[in-house]
Amino acid sequence: MSESALTGLKVIDLTRVLGGPYCTQILSDHGAEVIKVEPPQGDETRDWGPPFKDGLSAYFSGVNRNKRSLALDLSREEGRAVLFRMLEGADVVIENFKTGTLEKWGLGYEEVLKERYPRLIHCRITGFGADGPFGGLPGYDAVIQAWAGLISVNGSQDSGPMRLGIPLVDLGTGLYAAIGILAAVAERARSGKGQFLDVTLYDCGFALMHPHAPNFFMSDKAPKLTGNAHPNISPYDLYDTKGRKLFIGSGNDRQFRWLCAELGKPELAEDPRFKTNPDRVVNRDELTAELQALLADYDGEEIATRLIKAGVPAGAALTVPDVAEHPHTLHREMVVEKDGYKGTGIPVKMSRTPGTVKAKPPLFGQHSRAVLADFGFAEAEIDGLVADGVVLEERRG
């Protein structure tokens, strides 16, 4: 197999929990060497379970494959000295410490790292950034979902505002961070210089508010809760069938005509109430009643397959086990297994330099000695760091 796209890129990952680890797993999937530097207590998601298997939680395992773990006490000067030596050979450092922590430890970008490592790309993930009215405050996915407006547009009139069922802000921030790092790597190839990346959950959360923010900017009207329906498109909703629920997302008039024909009532597309998308949005309730009556005798998965093959966007509401076992999931290699580890596959398929799952998620401090040896530490030095509690091989309570 050819090398992966990011082979040769060395990343020092000081992050914990989700946004940062999700970012660095993307990089490691595509060949970057990611060294996960954990605090003495370990990444707290190691304890986020059940389920657990082979000493690892599912939560931790989901975002930490293809990495090596070094346990290092950065609160001590000796630990920071180890990190300085590692940064000499690194391309990227990514961290999500509370604002001001690295500066207090003498590891600030502007004060120290920029001059000492001019090619280093330093990515910082925080909740709200260092300044402004909320500057320095901690950020958590659900909290930012609330502050950034995501909760306000999720749910129905009956349910009221609801948290999204996935940690979209953390995951989205991880994606934005990965994009930013790769952009900085590309720019460094021209300038020869590193730079500082300021990535916040708050900014990323609000940036994800499409189409609700654009709708507000144009109309000056606050978005309303629409449940599964779409504020700008109809039909775009979840419908009952005699089997699984069915989602239809008909985005244009042609698709709507095809939908009506497949459901055996082509004349519905010529009804003045439903002829164009603006008409259908205005008359959403009437259209929902018509479609619900037509779908009552269909099996959701069967009609969804038929509709999508006919060009109508439609999907059966599958569960996670359903998706994991679906033939198309398996065909796309979106379930991977490695040495007892099982996880989601690599979504970006590159033709010449494919990503790969090379190693399952690491145990705490599993690679501490090997990593330090790779960075030129002598065996006696490593023994001393372990004996002094600067480098750890077991978690500290």
One domain, residues 288 and 364: no
One domain, residues 108 and 255: no
pLDDT value at position 2?
Answer: 64
One domain, residues 46 and 80: yes
pLDDT value at position 133?
Answer: 96
Is residue 292 one of the residues assigned to a domain?
Answer: yes
One domain, residues 320 and 347: no
Closest by Cα among 87, 75, 23, 13 to 43: 13
Give the contacts of 150 (CB within 8 A, at least 6 positions apart).
Answer: 144, 164, 168, 169, 205, 208, 209
One domain, residues 91 and 168: yes
One domain, residues 204 and 318: no
The backbone torsions φ and ψ at residue 12, rounded to the nearest 5 degrees and listed phi first, read: -95, 115
- The DSSP call for residue 154 is S
Is residue 218 one of the residues assigned to a domain?
Answer: no
Is residue 5 one of the residues assigned to a domain?
Answer: no
Is residue 230 one of the residues assigned to a domain?
Answer: no
CATH of the domain at 185: 3.40.50.10540
Is residue 253 one of the residues assigned to a domain?
Answer: yes
Closest by Cα among 311, 332, 313, 314 to 323: 332
The backbone torsions φ and ψ at residue 13, rounded to the nearest 5 degrees and listed phi first, read: -105, 105
One domain, residues 63 and 194: yes
Is residue 18 one of the residues assigned to a domain?
Answer: yes
The backbone torsions φ and ψ at residue 39, rounded to the nearest 5 degrees and listed phi first, read: -70, 170
Active site annotation includes 170? yes
Question: Cα separation of 151 and 134, whole Å?
Answer: 19
- The DSSP call for residue 139 is -
One domain, residues 41 and 154: yes
Closest by Cα among 196, 194, 195, 214 to 206: 214
One domain, residues 120 and 188: yes
Amino acid at 388: D
Rounded mean pLDDT for each run of 10 residues along the chain, 397 residues in total: 88 97 98 97 96 96 98 96 96 95 94 97 97 94 96 94 96 98 98 98 97 95 92 94 95 95 96 96 96 95 96 96 96 96 96 95 97 96 97 91
Is residue 247 one of the residues assigned to a domain?
Answer: yes
One domain, residues 21 and 151: yes
One domain, residues 150 and 260: no
State the alpha helices, DSSP H only, in 4-76.
Answer: 19-29, 58-61
CATH of the domain at 302: 3.30.1540.10
Q: Quickly count: other Cβ atoms within 10 Å of residue 14's Cβ.
A: 23
Q: Which tokens sit at 140?
A: 């958590």
Q: Quickly count: other Cβ atoms within 10 Å of residue 42's Cβ.
A: 20
Got the DSSP string for 219-232?
Answer: H-------TTS-SS
The backbone torsions φ and ψ at residue 132, rounded to the nearest 5 degrees and listed phi first, read: 85, 175
Of 325, 355, 371, the domain-final residue: 325
Query: Which residue is it, tokens 């069922």?
Result: 165
Residues 361 and 21 sit within 8 Å (Cβ to Cβ):
no
Greatest CA separation for the chain:
83
Q: Quickly count: other Cβ atoms within 10 Å of residue 21's Cβ.
A: 27
Count: domains in the chain: 2
Of 325, 341, 369, the domain-final residue: 325
Amino acid at 142: A
Give the range of the structural domain holding residue 47, as residue numbers without chain letter: 10-208+333-392
Which of 170, 240, 253, 297 does the annotation list as catalytic? 170
Phi-psi region of 72 (alpha: psi -120 to 50; beta: other; left: phi over 0): beta
Of 270, 305, 325, the domain-final residue: 325
- Residue 119, classed as helix, strand or coil, is coil
Provide the CB-side half-sphere exposure for 342 (13 A, CA): 7
One domain, residues 339 and 253: no
Question: Cα separation of 331 and 358, whole Å?
Answer: 20
Question: Cα separation of 355 and 364, whole Å?
Answer: 24
Q: What angle do CA 396, 73, 193 make, to 5 degrees?
A: 145
